[in-house]
Amino acid sequence: LISPAFPNDPCNRPIRTRMTAIMSPASYKSVVQPSLKAVVSIYTSKKVKTQEGGHFSFGPFQFDIPKNDTPMRQQALGSGVIVRKDGLVITNNHVISMADEIKVVLVDGRSFDAKVIVRDPDCDLAALRFVKTDKNASLFEGGFPTLKIGRGDALEVGDVVLAIGNNLGLQGTVTQGIISAVGRVLPQKKSVVSKITVPLIQTSASINPGSSGGALVSMSGELVGINTAILTPSRGNVGLAFAVPSNYITPVLSAVDNKKKDVVRPFLGCTLKKVSYPGKGILVHSVLKGGPAEKGGIKAEDVIIELQDTNITDSDRFLMMVALQNINSEILIKVKRGDDIIRCTVKVGVWEKGTEQFIVVSDDRNPLSGSTIAQMNPTINSKLNIDQDKTGVVIIQVAANSIAAGLFRGGDQIIMIDKKKVTTLKDVTSRLDKAVSSKTRTIVTIRVARGDAVIEFRLSVGGGPRSRL
């Protein structure tokens, strides 16, 4: 019953309304207590160069600093999650990538040396295994507590999750938050996050240094993500935390089972785009010639609406679902082609990561200064939503406020310089270096393909500041 603010006003009458309470659980202990047992603290160390000695002068003062021959070790910390009873731990690759000694500590006090079994830098994941010796063999009896692996693609914005890890060195720290976004792709920066090639889960659960590699746990007590990074103006958490979806653990475990050091990831051979509102599904932008998708009957401009009888709403969740598929297995993909619904059986292929060749242009006399330029291959093309079978040279990104900014964009394919075709990075450097180093001003033409358009820039270089004509 809601009473009016002015009860004596005859126009006001009490209003009866029904209000639905949103109840939060009084305690999360039924989820936290079993999950805590499977989350471990990871302590790493590596040898670092010792201080070099030498003779130094400061004004009239002369002094010698002796060489320090004492071995020094740099230490770091992180977290991990036990996913198998034999002591197999999943963590972030960046937690252990530089370490030559790794120690893992459970919340019950047991500690073990560990060794790296598999690395997957593209997903920032790694698998460790406890080292068993005659002295600690009894600690392996009965196995280890594990956390069941759930599905990150099943999360929805607003779902409650818990982050568990070695937060700032405080073992077993548990924080609570919600899912803020699923399929977050972050801007390219010089950070751990920018090196990850898969869409991430964003959460408001607080994580800090030491939390990396820890568990993101759903209210059903399943591992749905591996906490990996934060975005912050300082070193502290401001509610922008990110986790690698648990789906990408599956290829890591497959590599462990097959005794491979490198992860083999499922591959369909097509690039994807959003469907214009109010359409549903995801648009196939291009199909790699001879790839699994083409062989299965999928064509460019098809709209994928189902994978294995599950409705598809966005490309990020679709990629997470693909990560769960076995190599060489056959999957059913339903597409809409015009007014027809077509069922395509696709045999899952293997993602073969190409060797990426690129250059960063930093000479301010060069009109491309501030741009990163790469040799095109399926890996690069898929990131930029370019047909996977295209070849040539493409601009990956352009730094803000650089010489190239305002002219060129990430995704621009350089097709000609001074009316000569460009096919390699060497073509770019050789044709621009001579003009840039000239003592007299020279007009250089650079032609790029931007989407369906072709744009030609006429630029003045050499002998003075660059200007656009």
Find the largest Cα–Cα distance for the chain. Answer: 95
Residue 109: count other Cβ atoms within 10 Å of its Cβ.
6
* Dihedral of alpha carbons 126, 127, 130, 132, sign: negative
Choose the catalytic residue: 35, 94, 218, 246: 94
* Amino acid at residue number 347: K
Residue 212 is a catalytic residue:
yes
* Amino acid at residue number 261: K
At 127 the three-state DSSP class reads strand
- Please name the helix (run of DSSP H) or strand (run of DSSP E) that holds residue 33, with its range, or none: helix 29-38
53-59-61-66 Cα dihedral, nearest 10 degrees: 0
Residue 191 is a catalytic residue:
no
Choose the catalytic residue: 35, 206, 212, 246: 212
Give the pair of three-digit tokens for residue 333: 């993909």
Residue (of 86, 177, 184, 196) closest to 130 by Cα position: 86
Rounded to whole angstroms, the Cα distance separating 32 from 377 reads: 45
Rounded to whole angstroms, the Cα distance separating 157 from 176 reads: 14
Beta-strand relationship, 467-468 and 282-287: unpaired
Enter the DSSP assignment of 194. Answer: G
Contact 206, 237 (CB under 8 A): yes
Choose the catalytic residue: 124, 153, 314, 412: 124
Residue 138 is a catalytic residue:
no
Rounded to whole angstroms, the Cα distance separating 42 from 112 reads: 10
Q: Within 231-385, where are the H helices?
A: 249-257, 292-295, 315-322, 378-383
Omega of the bond prior to 278 within 30 degrees of 0, cis? yes
* Dihedral of alpha carbons 136, 139, 142, 143, sign: negative
Rounded to whole angstroms, the Cα distance separating 99 from 229 reads: 19
The tally of CA atoms less than 13 A away on the side-chain side of residue 76 is: 20
* Dihedral of alpha carbons 131, 136, 142, 145, sign: negative
At 201 the three-state DSSP class reads strand
* Amino acid at residue number 410: G
- Among all residues, which ones are annotated catalytic? 94, 124, 212
